[in-house]
Chain A
Amino acid sequence: MQFYRSHVLVCGGTPCILKGCKAVRDALIDELKRRGLDEEIRVVETGCLGPCDLGPVIVVYPEGTLYERVQVGDVPRIVEEHLLKGRVIPSLTGEGRLAGVVGYEEPTYLASQERIVLRNCGIIDPSSIEEYIARDGYRALGKCLTEMEPLDVIEVVRQSGLVGRGGAAFPTGLKWGFTANAESEQKFIICNADEGEPGTFKDRLILEGDPHNILEAMAIAGYAVGASCGYVYIRGEYVLSIERINEAIEQAKVFGLLGEDIFGSGFSFDVQVVKGAGAYVCGEETALIESMEGGRGEPRIKPPYPGTHGFLGKPTVVNNVETLANIPPIMLNGAQWYRGFGTSKCPGTKVFTMIGDINSKGLIEVPMGITLRRVIYEIGGGIPGGRDFKMAQTGGTSGGCLPREMLDVPMDYFTLPEVGSALGSGALLIMDDSHCIVDIAESFMRFFVRESCGKCVPCREGTARLHDIIRKISQGNGTYEDLRLIRDLSHAMQGTSLCGLGQSAPVPIMTMLKYFKDEFEAHIKNRLCPTGTCRL
């Protein structure tokens, strides 16, 4: 085996690719060759490490030095100074926030995080099944298949308290139980990677950074419920995710970790990739199944639920990417271990994509129940330009908005609904005081008008009317009566819409009206936008 004295990890996540990491990687390989170092230093392309705004990011091991915003022009210097002479280049290691070092002595950015889902992201080469296996990959599957009965697997998942990370927070163990109990010769596992929520890109980066994790989890789910066939439904735009997962499927088949008679247990499992065509509503599980069957991406009337009547009418488990990513560590370390993270009611971690007015944008994984204040000021490095925090929206466009007074509310799936908000899927949009609430509300509703599939009246008409009313207010033509109408419409939509799209579309508007009523009233009464954003 080749001995390498150093590994240079180049982040190959989509955000870093957009910033030119491929050119940096190529330059690095060329420069190492030119200096005759290519035999002793290995360049590894990894998945996302997290600090996306600092890309392209590279990490040099064994030192664990992180270089940020690396340009092609910096490469000869890094090779000459660091890789040849062993001298870290301080001007490229950032200014304290990442402290230039990951790995052994983790800086605050990583230290406040708990990495379960992202345990391999940015550390392994996602194209290498061996590197996944080196970090305990497929051991959980081996344990389940050789030591556990299917019902025991479900019991462990149930005890762990894991709930669905796609936003609905349905207990995963319970979901698996429905399908396991359903009588059918054929059952299916679907991984929902149709991540359409604006600002959310966690599932994409998990799939890009650690695809085998998802395959292993799907096989475990298949064993638990008695399914031999799995599908990963990915947005068609996620080109790299599709490429990586397909590559992973091929490798797993070669290693006999997918296919017939895995670990000699008699259990067989195969996974295929299905590409979504980009409809937001297809993230809803019945619309997703409808689209997989070749129909229009429209939700079905529930019940029956997919757990008993899903894909092709057969019992089907549909789990979000992040939910599945939790499964192998839970099976390996046990339910009690998992309950050690997060809160007693809502154990585990949550992956967020931090965007908006925040210094450190990117991918983070934090324990459930962490406060918004810690996320923004400890991990996110605060608000740029010395501006004040105005609001944060958790969970993408259909999530709730949290004002300054909510900075210390624990963020988990059960506490946030109590204050009229929702944790949602995984975007964390931070806004400073320069943004107008009415303007933001208008833009959110415009999105829902476009994405409503039109099958049910409350959503199709409701989103359009809400948008009209809010636009009217933003143009200075609103009345107090309009605010009442917004509330009535929202309640009707939440209560009567067919699926989560229509039910949650009013959530951001409701929370804005609750916490920022003054601003709506200023637009109505004084015909004035306090931030000067709206054209009044």
Chain B
Amino acid sequence: MKTVEELERIRKQAQAMTRLREGGESIKIVVGMGTCGIAAGARETLSAIMDELARRNIQDVIVTQTGCIGLCEQEPIIAIVMPGSEKVTYGKVSREKARKIVASHVVNSQIVGEWVIATE
């Protein structure tokens, strides 16, 4: 290593790898993985989200799961929580919809209104 800048560059890259363990403010995608969600295809939805994030090389997003929220007929359900704004919940999120939501909501901060079932 010849310069401090080089170290700084490696540090920035490496931080993306460990950000998950640091907490703090990041965008959170919550996938409903109750039995109802899984039966409706939440596993595929989750995989699609993961794939889309990897494809776009997005590292500062937390993907996590939750149980049944009581809207089983709307499953698969995902919620996007962005720091400083309301939680937005989407219903009947297929693989294709999931990819669209990542592109539009997570990357460009544009809520996909037609699929939203709740905001709080």
Interface residue ranges, A against B (CB under 8 Å): 1-7, 9, 39-40, 61-64, 84-87, 103-104, 123-124, 130-131, 133-139, 142-143, 146, 255-257, 261-264
Annotate B10-23 by CB proximity to A: 1 below 8 A, 0 otherwise: 11011111101101
Annotate B32-65 by CB proximity to A: 1 below 8 A, 0 otherwise: 0110001000010011001001100111001111
Residues from chain A with a CB closer than 8 A to the CB of B16 are: 1
Residues from chain B with a CB closer than 8 A to the CB of A7 are: 18, 20-21
Question: Bound complex: CA of A3 vs CA of B1, how far in Å?
Answer: 27
CB distance from A342 to the nearest CB of B (A): 26
CB distance from B40 to the nearest CB of A (A): 14
Query: Could you tell me if B11 and A136 are in contact, using CB atoms closer than 8 angstroms?
Result: yes
- B108 proximal to A (CB < 8 A): no
- B66 proximal to A (CB < 8 A): yes
Known A84-B65, A139-B11: A104·B54 in contact at CB below 8 Å = no
Interface residue ranges, B against A (CB under 8 Å): 1-4, 7, 10-11, 13-18, 20-21, 23, 31, 33-34, 38, 43, 46-47, 50, 53-54, 57-59, 62-67
Query: Could you tell me if A134 and B14 are in contact, using CB atoms closer than 8 angstroms?
Result: yes
Question: Bound complex: CA of A28 vs CA of B18, how far in Å?
Answer: 20
Query: Could you tell me if B33 and A3 are in contact, using CB atoms closer than 8 angstroms?
Result: no
Main secondary structure of the interface of A (DSSP, over half): loop
Query: Could you tell me if A142 and B18 are in contact, using CB atoms closer than 8 angstroms?
Result: no
Query: Could you tell me if B64 and A142 are in contact, using CB atoms closer than 8 angstroms?
Result: no
CB distance from A42 to the nearest CB of B (A): 9
Question: Bound complex: CA of A1 vs CA of B14, how far in Å?
Answer: 10
- 25 A-B pairs with C-beta separation under 8 A: A1-B16, A1-B59, A3-B50, A3-B53, A3-B59, A5-B46, A6-B20, A40-B46, A61-B21, A63-B64, A84-B43, A85-B33, A85-B65, A85-B67, A86-B31, A86-B67, A131-B14, A131-B18, A133-B7, A133-B10, A134-B14, A137-B11, A255-B1, A256-B1, A263-B1
Query: Could you tell me if A3 and B54 are in contact, using CB atoms closer than 8 angstroms?
Result: yes
Residues from chain B with a CB closer than 8 A to the CB of A256 are: 1-2
Residues from chain A with a CB closer than 8 A to the CB of B33 are: 84-86
CB distance from B14 to the nearest CB of A (A): 4
Question: Bound complex: CA of A9 vs CA of B38, how far in Å?
Answer: 26
Given contacts A5-B46, A263-B7, 10 further A-B pairs with CB under 8 A are: A1-B17, A1-B59, A3-B54, A3-B59, A104-B23, A133-B10, A133-B14, A139-B7, A142-B4, A143-B4
Residues from chain B with a CB closer than 8 A to the CB of A86 are: 31, 33, 64-67
Query: Could you tell me if A146 and B67 are in contact, using CB atoms closer than 8 angstroms?
Result: no
Residues from chain A with a CB closer than 8 A to the CB of B11 are: 133-134, 136-137, 139
